[in-house]
Amino acid sequence: MQSDYVSSAINIKGIIPALAVKEFESDSALEEASPKDVINLLASVLPEFGNSGFSYLYDEASEKLFLELKDLDLKICVSSLNQYNGWTLESKTDFFLLRTALTECKDYSSETVMQMNESHPHIKLYLKEGVLIVEEPYYTCHGIPVLNLMDRLSAYLQTLKTLTEN
């Protein structure tokens, strides 16, 4: 019986830069990313936020990657925005999106969310049914330095951490 889900848990202790270097050269550029690439990128920046690690689940039916960050108590959905190609564990996309629904956040007004959008130009924030949604797209066509992607992921996680602490 073949499962529609691939699930694994990763526990990280301390900073492991070799994890990113093993998968990517530190000065390399990424033109396309598979779900495994996103997992490796996240694993390379997550030690900045704690040492409990994360778990992930890839849903083949929806072609989405679901991440649960233990130290930050967050769940992130990663999906491809490339409408022409599917996104499987073995295929890659040049346009993907991180989306987090912050259900535990305090109630934000529309005006506050608009102000947050102005101060976070790379991140899109909006209210949907009273829940604060935080998104960041990554367009990698023509290549983005891996260190730049790691920096953007770290900034995304720091923003989520700040929003959940307030």
pLDDT of residue 6: 42
pTM to 2 decimals?
A: 0.82
Q: In whole numbers, what is the pLDDT of the chain averaged over residues?
A: 84
Closest CA to 44 of 147, 140, 162, 159: 147
Q: In this predicted structure, which of 10-14, 151-155, 156-160 has the lowest mean pLDDT?
A: 10-14
Give the residue extent of every domain in the chain. Answer: 26-165
pLDDT digits (tens, 9 = 90+) for 86-113: 999 889 999 999 999 998 776 788 899 9
Q: What are phi and psi of 113, to 5 degrees?
A: -65, -40
Q: Which fold has domain 26-165?
A: Yope Regulator; Chain: A, (3.30.1460)
- pLDDT category at 59 given cuts 50, 70, 90 is very high
Q: How many Cβ atoms are within 10 Å of 136's Cβ, its own excluded?
A: 20
Write down the residue that tokens 């007004």 correspond to: 109
